[in-house]
Every structure is written in structure tokens, then in C-alpha cells.
């Protein structure tokens, strides 16, 4: 399932309520009782702890946060814990640690406990559920497109998504306490619980917003903090992310088309003309291929999905080639909720953080602004209608974002990132005084595990605090359509959906 990300237009920017700057003081530091995660995860330990539901009442009601860790293998030179966030919002840090912990541990010489946690309301951490079952979740999407691409679809889509707010909020206390600021307060409590004087953190995609929030709430508690695939926190928190989204995917997708032609991929030659013709055809009439029906929104969302990882580009090009041939007629047509709560948690966090418009006409107007940027703009925008009847959390943090931290933050950005564009990394670098920008001149979402240069610099910083020289630009990997490159998979696939 695809989760539509947050955004809004500058022309209709909403002014949020003042942020509460609570630091979580007075909260009791939990004791973590680690135990083996089970035979399917050898060498990993799991636990759950209680943290304050509301940091304005730190000794009151609690909520549960689940954790997993890969203990340091070089105990003699152990530095401490490295906290992770894989993105989303709504991504499971527990799953991320279990899946990537061995690789990360090896990359970092076994000197860290690799620690992932499911943010409050996510996965195993007192999860928010808006539906009674996975079947009911599926029914929510019936009869509406992935995003509206015809005028007649807009009002039904808006009404359906707007209805999500009361469904999620009613009788679920966690829904009122899922802001990123509260996740950052939880993370600082976890830092204290594992015995670290200062935090070491590696956050991807939405995890960059969590990292920036932590840095601004707890600037004196930083040992080493890396944000990779960076959201501009000022844009994101103010609901103006659409200013980036309306053009960022287009910039990377044009590189997809250019490198396709350069490598003589199956969707070329003249892949841009074929893409434009494909969109014109599928907008007029859905395409049947292999027994499935593909609508315009499905094709756009497939293109957005492929921009996360250039290793997917050859398959995406083959898919678009088949769709184009099919459009031309050369192929024949043919009880207790326990489901994964990524969609629910995404909106629970996003709507807690950002004050979005309430009325249909604003969403429609912003969609026109988004579409003027590129064909991908509306796909990024419309899912925010889930927040139209969902009040933001008064404990959220909306800035100011400009602070100096006790250790410099490492900001990593790709030149062609269609999910969190390079301008976001540049903005975070300007906002965080003393931070260092590391650029990767290639494609895709995030650089760690994709670019050896960026990975090596990140490892050196986490291990020793060694920053790359000012102005460092890691060279792009070879053309993703070359056979020797296409088979290479990135180590990690963070998400912002």
C-alpha cells in the first residue's frame, strides 16, 4: 500500500498554534529488560518500556514503546547505542533494526548497540488502529482512486479521506499524542535508559525530521546525529512540503528518462515522448495488461515508487514499455485489529504535526498548484485530506528550527532525490548551525548503503566524529540501466510513505 505524503502550497499556508517546548523533564527513566527476540532473529534482543503518554503530565498515563537491538560485538571498544529511524512516518524501527542491524553493526566495526524502536502509535508500540480489521482497511480505499486526476473524483476522494479523522481519533488516546516532538522526547528518555550521556542517531527520510526535531529540543544532548534524505523542517512542519514535491519527483524522473535513453533501455529511444504519450492514453482510458487494469493514478504512483531506488529503474522501464505497447494495441489485454498499521500511523503522526486546510476548496486549489509543478504533484498532495478533520497536537514542535548543537550534525542529500529533494538538505544545513552537508551526485532516496563514498563518510563521522571536508560531493554511481549496475540492491530502502 502506498501512503500519500504531506504537503501544502505556500499561497494557502496555514499558521499553526504555538509549539509547546516541553523537554520531558520529570519523566521517570524506564528500566529496559532486554530478552532474546526469538530464534528467527539470532543475536538480537527485544524489549518494551512505558513512557509518558503526555509529557505535560509526566507521572500520569503511559504508553508502550517497543525496541530491538543488536548488541555491540566489540564490547571492549563499545561507544554506546546508535538509535535508528527508517522513515515514514509510520515506519517500524524495530523491523529496520532486525533487518539491517547486522549490516550496520559490521559497517561500524561492532562498536555500537544498534537500536531501533517503533515510534509511539506505530507497529508494536501501542499501535493506532483506525479500522476493525485489515478487510475494513481495504474497504476504505474501494471506489476511489490512488489520487484524484479527474475533477469528478475530487469531492468523493476528499470526503472519504476527511472521514478518517474521527474514525482514528475517537476513543483512542494515543491518537492525541503522536507528534514528532513526543517521539523525540521518547527518544531522549530511551537515551537515558540505555545509559548514554549523549545520543548517536541515524535517521532516514521522515527520520530526518525526527532528527531535526530532536536536535532543536535537545541541542546539548548530541554526540553524533546523521540525517539522510532530508526534509526541510520548516516546509514540512508548516504544511508547505508541496513546494518541493511538485517538482522534486519530476527532476529525478527526467533523469530516469535521460539515463534510459543514454543506455538504450527498453523504454527508449525518445522515452520522454513515450512517457507523455502513455500518460495521455491512460488518462483517456485505463490500460489492460496481463489481466489487470491500470489507471492513470496507478501509472503515476508506479513512477513515484520507482524513484526511491535506481535499482528498480530497469524493471520500471520494462513496465512502462509494456503499458505503452498495450496502449498502442500491440499486446492483448487480459475483531481486535492486528493488521499492519502503517497507513493509520502515517496519518496519526502527520496530522498531529501539521495544521492542514479544513475545506474542500483549499485542497482543490492546492492540487492545481501541485499539478502546475508536474504530473506528480497531485499524487503527493491529496492524501493530506486525511487531516482535514483531525486537529493537530498542541504539543507538536513547529520551530524555530535554527539552533547550534553540542556536536555538528551531518546532513546527507542526493542531487536527484524525487522524495526529499536536495534543497531540503541544503535548508537543514543552513538551519542547524555548525552542521556539515555531504552531497551525493546521484539518484534515488537517501545515500547510505547506495554510495560507497557517502557510506564511508557517514561511518567515519559516527565512529570518530570526523566530518567530510566542506563542499564534499560524492560521485554518482554508474548509469542505473547498465547491466552491471541494475543488479545491485541498496543496503536500505527507507520510505516516506
State the pLDDT at residue 11: 30
State the pLDDT at residue 18: 33
State the pLDDT at residue 21: 42
- Tens of pLDDT, residue by residue over 258-281, are 999 999 999 999 999 999 999 999
Q: Which residue has the cell 540505555?
A: 194
- Tens of pLDDT, residue by residue over 122-174, are 999 999 999 999 999 999 999 999 999 999 999 999 999 999 999 888 668 99
Mean pLDDT of 331-344: 67
- Tens of pLDDT, residue by residue over 65-107, are 999 999 999 999 999 999 999 999 999 999 999 999 999 999 9
Q: Which residue has the cell 502550497?
A: 9
Mean pLDDT of 283-288: 95
Non-local CB neighbours of 111 within 8 Å, separated by 6+ positions: 72, 74, 77, 78, 79, 463
Would the pLDDT of 334 be above 60? no
- Tens of pLDDT, residue by residue over 338-372, are 789 999 999 999 999 999 999 999 999 999 999 99
Written in H, E and C, the secondary structure of 292-314 is: EEECHHHHHHHHHHHCCCHHHHH
Confidence band for 13, pLDDT divided at 50, 70 and 90: very low
| H or E, element range at 346 | helix 342-353
State the pLDDT at residue 8: 31
- Tens of pLDDT, residue by residue over 409-438, are 999 999 999 999 999 999 999 999 999 999
Would the pLDDT of 463 be above 70? yes
62-70 sheet: strands from edge to edge:
35-36, 45-52, 62-70, 112-117, 80-85, 199-204, 222-228, 409-416, 436-443, 473-474
Query: CB–CB of 116/84 below 8 Å?
Result: yes
Would the pLDDT of 41 be above 50? yes
Q: For residues 99 and 495, what is the distance between their CA atoms, to the nearest angstrom?
A: 15
Total residues belonging to the chain:
497
State the pLDDT at residue 335: 41
Query: CB–CB of 388/356 below 8 Å?
Result: yes
pTM listed for this prediction: 0.92
Non-local CB neighbours of 424 within 8 Å, separated by 6+ positions: 208, 230, 231, 232, 235, 244, 413
Amino acid at each position: 500500500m502506498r501512503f500519500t505524503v504531506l504537503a501544502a502550497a505556500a499561497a494557502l499556508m496555514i499558521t499553526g498554534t504555538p509549539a509547546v517546548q516541553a523537554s520531558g523533564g520529570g519523566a521517570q527513566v524506564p528500566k529496559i529488560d532486554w530478552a532474546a527476540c526469538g530464534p528467527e532473529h539470532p543475536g538480537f534482543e527485544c524489549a518494551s518500556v512505558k513512557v509518558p503518554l503526555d509529557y505535560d503530565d509526566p507521572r500520569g498515563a503511559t504508553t508502550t514503546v517497543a525496541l530491538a537491538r543488536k548488541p555491540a560485538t566489540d564490547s571492549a571498544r563499545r561507544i554506546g547505542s546508535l538509535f535508528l529511524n527508517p522513515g515514514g512516518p509510520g515506519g517500524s524501527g524495530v523491523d529496520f533494526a532486525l533487518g539491517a542491524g547486522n549490516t550496520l553493526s559490521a559497517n561500524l566495526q561492532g562498536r555500537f548497540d544498534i537500536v531501533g524502536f517503533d515510534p509511539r502509535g506505530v507497529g508494536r508500540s501501542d499501535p493506532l488502529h483506525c479500522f476493525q480489521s485489515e478487510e475494513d482497511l481495504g474497504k476504505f480505499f474501494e471506489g476511489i482512486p490512488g489520487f484524484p486526476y479527474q475533477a469528478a473524483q475530487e469531492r468523493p476522494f476528499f470526503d472519504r479521506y476527511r472521514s478518517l479523522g474521527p474514525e482514528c481519533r475517537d476513543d483512542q488516546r494515543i491518537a492525541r499524542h503522536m507528534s514528532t516532538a513526543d517521539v523525540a522526547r521518547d527518544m531522549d528518555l530511551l537515551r537515558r535508559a540505555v545509559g548514554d550521556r549523549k545520543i548517536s542517531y541515524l535517521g532516514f527520510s521522515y527520520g530526518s525530521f525526527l532528527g531535526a526535531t530532536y536536535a532543536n529540543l535537545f541541542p546539548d544532548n548530541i554526540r553524533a546525529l546523521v540525517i539522510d534524505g532530508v526534509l526541510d523542517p520548516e516546509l514540512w512542519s508548516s504544511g508547505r512540503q508541496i513546494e518541493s514535491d511538485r517538482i522534486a519527483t519530476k527532476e529525478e524522473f527526467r533523469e530516469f528518462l535521460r539515463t534510459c535513453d543514454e543506455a538504450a533501455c527498453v523504454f527508449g529511444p525518445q522515452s520522454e515522448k513515450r512517457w507523455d504519450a502513455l500518460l495521455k492514453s491512460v488518462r483517456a482510458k485505463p490500460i489492460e495488461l496481463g489481466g489487470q487494469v491500470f489507471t492513470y493514478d496507478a501509472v503515476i504512483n508506479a513512477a513515484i515508487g520507482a524513484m526511491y531506488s535506481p535499482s528498480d529503474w530497469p524493471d520500471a522501464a520494462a513496465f512502462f514499455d509494456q503499458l505503452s505497447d498495450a496502449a498502442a494495441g500491440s499486446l492483448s489485454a487480459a475483531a481486535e485489529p492486528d493488521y499492519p498499521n502503517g497507513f493509520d500511523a502515517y496519518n496519526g503522526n502527520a496530522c498531529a504535526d501539521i495544521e492542514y486546510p479544513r475545506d474542500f476548496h483549499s485542497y482543490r486549489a492546492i492540487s492545481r498548484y501541485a499539478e502546475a509543478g508536474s504530473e506528480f504533484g497531485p499524487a503527493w498532495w491529496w492524501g493530506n485530506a486525511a487531516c482535514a478533520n483531525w486537529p493537530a497536537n498542541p504539543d507538536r514542535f513547529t520551530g524555530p528550527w535554527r539552533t547550534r548543537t553540542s556536536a555538528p550534525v551531518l546532513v546527507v542529500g542526493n542531487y536527484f532525490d524525487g522524495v526529499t529533494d536536495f534543497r531540503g538538505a541544503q535548508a537543514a544545513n543552513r538551519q542547524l548551525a555548525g552542521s556539515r552537508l555531504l552531497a551525493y551526485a546521484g539518484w534515488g532516496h537517501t545515500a547510505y548503503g547506495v554510495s560507497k563514498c557517502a557510506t564511508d563518510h557517514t561511518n567515519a563521522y559516527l565512529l570518530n566524529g570526523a566530518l567530510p571536508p566542506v563542499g564534499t560531493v560524492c560521485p554518482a554511481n554508474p548509469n542505473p540501466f547498465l547491466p552491471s549496475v541494475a543488479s545491485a540492491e541498496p543496503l536500505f530502502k527507507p520510505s516516506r510513505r
